[in-house]
Amino acid sequence: MDGRAPRATVNTSAGRVVPRSGWKAVNPRIRTEMKGPAQTVIVHHTALWSCIQPRDSLSQLAHIQNMHMHERGFDDIGYNFLISGDGTVYEGRGWGVVGAHAKGHNFDSVGIAFMGNFNDELPHGASLTALHRLLHAGQLYGHLLHEFVLVGHRDVGKTECPGEHLYSALPKLKDQLKISD
């Protein structure tokens, strides 16, 4: 891979979205559909290395899916979407699919992970913009309730996730989106 975005990248109102086939995702063992639009968006970080180049993102995606399926026993990668530092959105489980990202909160939420460790680094502007576009597209196409709730993983579980720097960026994002806490 030469560092350029994978060819399977699709441009949508959500920006650049790489479908599962674009990062060579393994097929899920089981896929459970949500019963309606998500009520909550839970923001995570991968707590791994920062991904700016697509080759780093592809490597991390494969690592996460392998870890989730083989070490944690998940049916697939746990997140619905992942966002790299260059603003590329990668489809994890995708819209309308129950994730495995926040125990007790997966059936009515979407889990979106920023690729990197945001205890140590600041989120890139491109990744925050990508999240904004993805959430807007989710509302536009009926995958998210219009008045959804945006939280960090630490708001629903005992964890430092999504890292102090990313967590502190969420109030500004909520204000820009004019959504509830």
Under DSSP, the state recorded for 161 is: T
User: Does the reported pTM lie above 0.85?
Assistant: yes
State CA 163 to chain mean position distance. 14
Least Cα distance to 107 among 25, 19, 29, 37 occurs for 37
Task: Give backbone dihedrals phi and psi of 144, rounded to 5 degrees, phi first.
Answer: -125, 140
pLDDT at 1: 34
Residue 14 pLDDT class (50, 70, 90 cuts): low
Mean pLDDT of 73-97: 96
Query: CA dihedral in degrees (43, 49, 52, 55; nearest 10)?
Result: -110
Fold of the 13-23+34-177 domain = Lysozyme-like (3.40.80)
pLDDT at 5: 40
Kindly tell me if the per-residue pLDDT of 139 is higher than 50.
yes
Distance between CA 22 and CA 9 in Å, rounded? 7
pLDDT at 165: 96
